[in-house]
Chains A and B, each alone.
Chain A
Amino acid sequence: MIDYRSFVTQADTLAILPIIITVLGALVVLFVDLLMPKKAARRTIALGIAAVVLVCASLDERTLYGPAQSIFAGSFVVSGFSVAFSEIVLVAALLSLALSAGIGKSDQVPGTTALVLWGTSGALLMAGAANLPTIFLGLELLSLALYCLCAFSDRPQARESALKYLILSSMASGFMLYGMALLFGATGSVALAAFALAAPSPLFVLGAGLFLVGIAFKLSLVPFHSWTPDVYEGAPLAVTAFMSVVTKAGTLAVFARFAYVSLPPAIAERILIPVWIVAAISMVVGNLAALAQTDMKRLLAYSGIAQVGYIVAALAGATESGMRYAIFYLGAYTFMNLGAFAVTALVARDAEAGARLPAFAGLARRRPLLAWAMTLFLLALAGLPPTAGFTGKILILASAVNAGYAWLAGLLILGTAISLYVYFKIVRAMFAQVDLAHIREERSGSPLPWIAVTLCAVATVVLGLYPFAPSAVLPALH
């Protein structure tokens, strides 16, 4: 007789407690909303609960930091590594919710907030997933939530983006799933840790390849990126912000675990080379395509394509330190990217639709603090000091050179050079001399985005300059 209790111990429960908090928190949001009178400030309450939930999850997540422990019969691993990704996801979710003070109409806010929380839990699952079904389900949980969230707007663009995202993402899931099936076929196991022990076989390689296609799609690496700009532009701003970080964080966690843990050493490098190549292409093409963009969300989408290329480049060679730098840069990217989104939300006439370049004209004279904050975020995105983007880029460059991928470092520089025009176009618009008489001042009522801007700005600078070594803070793998 099987002792079922041995499969759900207290340790297991504690280990996934942040996920449980998040998931159940979403239910709390919905139920509290049910109990509220009609006239109540439902938007505020829902967001407040979600914030509490996310903060609790984040605090609880910190307690898990430590040596790796495998739970749920190897389905899930909790380690410093997963904690790092989880924290990034939670912070990103928190900041995204703050951006435009809820998604959709006010009576939809509790529902959408719940969806955000569930999506977050999907990403949290991906951060610790140790076998293929868990990966797949975490990914789908996140994706399904995002499909819905994208559509929560009356703008036809939002609907379109949801449809496109749905079709393309499902297709990519199909590829990934088929790859998973082949991996299972090649090894007879679904546990990532078991793969490395299997003898290398063509079936395994092909399975890994298809799996990586799915990964590349979720990371929006060129040429699997084509959904990104459209979806980012169409989706409500907060959703775009959310998915721009959370999807990447979750998928990177999966990719990193796969690349570091499950590949037989003999063929690991050959299996991963296409990923480095598409990362390199992403750095260049992403920035190139961003050159002529005027919509901020679309611009940040292309920028994100390039940025994720940088992050993947950090992993090149699959060195242990590279992993840390990737996490560092991802953390930096979270703040600088969300900061840019937050400023866009503040500048935009319609916070949900986002803003186009002309909205930034003369910002330095109208709202200097906002303009300088935006400049800071853009500098960070461009990899310039005094920001985390600069430090992160240095780490990535050093890591790539160290791992023998100097060509990647060179292409990174090329991409960055192109990106300067992209980011400084906005800086220029903000600081240029314009006739302020023609510009109608828009001020959003909510203070929440301001909080996000402040947090992101502080974090962007502090992460870049605070004299700590990422290696001392970030944990070992597994």
Chain B
Amino acid sequence: MEHVVLGIDGGYPLLVLAWLAPLAGAIALWAFGPRVRSLGGPIGAAICGVAFLALLPLWNAATAIGSHAYLFSTHSNGIGAAGASAVASYSTNASGANAAAVSTLAGIHQSLVSWAPGFTFGLLLDRLSLVWALVITGIGFLIQVYSIGYMTGDRAFARFFAYLNFFVFAMMTLVLSDNFVGLLVGWGLVGLASYFLIGFYFDRPSAVKASRKAFVINVVGDIGILFAIFLMFAAVGSAGYGDVFANVAKLSPGMLFAICGCLFIGCAAKSAQVPLHTWLPDAMEGPTPVSALIHAATMVTAGVYLIARCAPLWNASEESRMLVGTIGGITALAGALLGLAQWDIKRILAYSTMSQIGYMIMGVGVGAYDAGVLHFLTHAFFKAQLFLTAGIVIHALADQQDIRLMGGLRTRQPFAFWSMTLGVLAICGIAPLSGFWSKDAVIYGTLERGYPALYAIGVLTAGITAFYMFRLLFVTFFGTYRGAIDPSSLGIRHPELSGQAVEPAHDHHEAHPTSILMIAPVAVLMIGTIGAGLLWIAGWRDFFAPAFAGAPEGHGAVFLPELGSTILVTAVVLVGIAIAYVRYAAPAALREAIERLRVETVRMPAPLAHAFYFDVAIDALFVKPAQALGRLAGTVLDPLVLDGAVRETSIVTAWLGHLARSFQTGLVRAYALTLVVGAACFVAYYAFGAVR
């Protein structure tokens, strides 16, 4: 069997180091956390930094464009043969027509292990994974530095960094894998890291519940990918990227759609796409740095990575692009709408994350991979910055997360205010901040590729985004501080519904001064927030052109030029900002802020307040029936029916035993009688039956 490997096979110890160092850090910190105590944070951050640095020397090798793919003939029993690249037969002209698609995806490849024929594992670092790997380790490093300040004093300080390191390892596994199984391994492990971190404050029932929910929904996504692997393996006999992509032409359109659909189930769960998004807002139970790293910058964008990675599949399947683009658009809109209704600062950011990922998915879904990936990059910067800033605010306000109980923080926390303002502007897409470039590219990409409906959604969502992000900004930082007033006067009846913990967490429940360790990473992120978008005009598309070769191009005939589109979007965004200003920041609005917030709280439209009833529906459709069936099995079928049958059998047997004993009356004459009856039967048989 021929085995196609993407990338130039070889030994890359730095790559392995970058991959495994966080794992080693995680294990060490987990095992020896109680010993190292406060050193845990610096150690964790340092390891992450090492991983980041280890990647840099690989830049040239990973981005070198090879005009070739490597084909290995492996023994069909395949044990370890793929690793032994020396025996490979080499070909520059692989598999005919698909060679072009494959050959452009060059990078570096490190072989690892083989399970069975078709299941061989290795690391692949090409442009796509390089971008992700750098973001993961880089932002991971920054956020760990931030966390040293944020988590100071927490009892499980070292364990927190163990989890973060583990997450980085898992995410690296996900993006560096050269096959779908390895990807799935990473996919599951990041889910696990996410589970640990969401449930970090595990004595809080809401955190426990949220972590379980996140994990289970992510497993739903996992089995989507699993099924896609079945399909691919049955079709091409391998789960390696190279093998699958080289054989795209052999797959029927229906099969392609099925594969893409199943893969997308995974994306939807991981990247919080409708209808599998419900875990993301709940995931804000985790510490804020976690939300920044995992639930904003990196993990949730794994779906984007997967689709970008599988560009050859999507390129070949029009229906899949339609499906993914549509879901992405719906998610973008739904996230934005739900963002309108939130009061918890982190939940607002969570819904905005969902919305922005919707954009990315829409982008990569319709084939605008470069735009989608750029939006991932810029979003990683500005959303991480937003979260970290929110963290600073929360930290300073003794873990208060309800923006109704904030207000007027502009003067009290100037750094936070400016940082937040910058982030909000970026996410709204105000030129020339990073969000402007990427979002614009995505929105226009849909139009370019012939999806006007998605375009419309994109534009509308941009406006809504501007509104609710500025609402967040205005309510939090403008006006007067409301932290001291009675929550009920703001209409807050059930604090837990607002996202605020009933029993706020732990031992660091007091106002903290903002440490330099928390400010510095935010400052670094600001650079990206401001400047990352410029990559779009600095050769971004060319950089990725080899990776996304064969992507559907624009139809040409577009009724709106790019500049016109930009102006339109900017106008809509400005309208959104204006409405927000009028409602929340205009002097008149500020005067009656408390009353306004109360009314808004009480009169919140029910569908929004209940997040479009997704939770209710999932509960009623899946959870409740499963529990009912389980109860049926565990309390009725097992003890009564199945076991009952056995019990009846034993009862009948015992009864038969008593019956047999009842003939044993102790009366010798009765015994004689049974003897004679037996003899009579014998005699009757022998007299009449035995001989005819």
Assembly CA distance A217 to B660 (angstroms): 17
- In the complex, are the beta carbons of B686 and A285 less than 8 A apart? no
Assess whether A289 is interfacial by the CB under 8 Å rule: yes
Assess whether B612 is interfacial by the CB under 8 Å rule: no
Assembly CA distance A206 to B687 (angstroms): 6
* Given contacts A230-B664, A288-B653, A205 and B691 within 8 Å (CB-CB): yes
Assembly CA distance A292 to B658 (angstroms): 7
A321 to chain B, nearest CB (A): 26
With A208-B686, A224-B675 known, 6 other A-B pairs at CB within 8 A are A206-B683, A223-B675, A226-B671, A271-B686, A288-B660, A292-B657
Q: In chain A, what residue has the closest Cβ to B689?
A: A270
B656 to chain A, nearest CB (A): 5
Chain B residues, Cβ within 8 Å of A274:
681-682, 685-686
State the A residues within 8 Å of B (CB). Answer: 163-164, 167-168, 171-172, 175, 200-202, 205-206, 208-210, 212-213, 216-217, 223-224, 226-227, 229-230, 267, 270-271, 274, 278, 285, 288-292, 418, 421
- In the complex, are the beta carbons of A210 and B660 less than 8 A apart? no
- In the complex, are the beta carbons of A164 and B687 less than 8 A apart? no
Assembly CA distance A249 to B102 (angstroms): 85
- In the complex, are the beta carbons of A226 and B657 less than 8 A apart? no
- In the complex, are the beta carbons of B687 and A217 less than 8 A apart? no
- In the complex, are the beta carbons of A289 and B661 less than 8 A apart? yes
- In the complex, are the beta carbons of A418 and B653 less than 8 A apart? yes
* Given contacts A210-B682, A223-B678, A418-B653, A202 and B687 within 8 Å (CB-CB): yes
Chain A residues, Cβ within 8 Å of B671:
164, 168, 226-227, 230
Assess whether B32 is interfacial by the CB under 8 Å rule: no
B683 to chain A, nearest CB (A): 6
- In the complex, are the beta carbons of A209 and B686 less than 8 A apart? yes
Question: Chain B: interface secondary structure?
Answer: helix
Most central of A172, A202, A289 by chain B CB within 10 Å: A289
Assembly CA distance A164 to B658 (angstroms): 22
Instruction: Count how many pairs of residues, one from A and one from B, have CB atoms less than 8 Å apart in the complex.
Output: 94
* Given contacts A171-B672, A230-B666, A285 and B683 within 8 Å (CB-CB): no
1/0 contact string of B433-464 vs chain A (CB within 8 Å): 00000000000000000000000000000000
- In the complex, are the beta carbons of A205 and B690 less than 8 A apart? yes
Q: In chain A, what residue has the closest Cβ to B676?
A: A171
B671 to chain A, nearest CB (A): 4
- Please tell me which one of the listed residues B659, B672, B678 contacts residue A167 in the complex, with CB atoms under 8 A apart: B672
Q: In chain B, what residue has the closest Cβ to A418?
A: B653
- In the complex, are the beta carbons of A291 and B686 less than 8 A apart? no
- In the complex, are the beta carbons of A168 and B668 less than 8 A apart? yes
Assess whether B90 is interfacial by the CB under 8 Å rule: no
B647 to chain A, nearest CB (A): 13
- In the complex, are the beta carbons of B691 and A292 less than 8 A apart? no
Assess whether B113 is interfacial by the CB under 8 Å rule: no
Q: In chain A, what residue has the closest Cβ to B688?
A: A202
- Please tell me which one of the listed residues A209, A224, A229 contacts residue B690 in the complex, with CB atoms under 8 A apart: A209
- In the complex, are the beta carbons of B675 and A171 less than 8 A apart? yes
Chain B residues, Cβ within 8 Å of A290:
657
- In the complex, are the beta carbons of B690 and A210 less than 8 A apart? no
13 contacts between A and B (CB under 8 A): A163-B668, A168-B671, A175-B679, A209-B687, A210-B682, A213-B679, A226-B663, A226-B674, A230-B671, A267-B691, A288-B657, A288-B660, A291-B654
- Please tell me which one of the listed residues A210, A224, A278, A288 contacts residue B656 in the complex, with CB atoms under 8 A apart: A288
Q: In chain B, what residue has the closest Cβ to A291?
A: B657
Chain A residues, Cβ within 8 Å of B659:
288
Assembly CA distance A209 to B685 (angstroms): 8
- Please tell me which one of the listed residues A172, A213, A227, A289 contacts residue B660 in the complex, with CB atoms under 8 A apart: A289
A178 to chain B, nearest CB (A): 10
- Please tell me which one of the listed residues B664, B685, B689 contacts residue A226 in the complex, with CB atoms under 8 A apart: B664
- In the complex, are the beta carbons of B690 and A164 less than 8 A apart? no
Chain A residues, Cβ within 8 Å of B654:
291-292
- In the complex, are the beta carbons of A270 and B690 less than 8 A apart? yes
Assembly CA distance A210 to B691 (angstroms): 15
- In the complex, are the beta carbons of B675 and A292 less than 8 A apart? no
- In the complex, are the beta carbons of B691 and A202 less than 8 A apart? yes
Assembly CA distance A171 to B689 (angstroms): 25
The 8 closest A-B pairs by CB, nearest first: A209-B686, A291-B657, A289-B660, A226-B671, A223-B678, A288-B657, A213-B679, A288-B660
Chain A residues, Cβ within 8 Å of B660:
285, 288-289
A153 to chain B, nearest CB (A): 18
Assembly CA distance A206 to B689 (angstroms): 10
Q: In chain A, what residue has the closest Cβ to B683?
A: A209
Assess whether B398 is interfacial by the CB under 8 Å rule: no
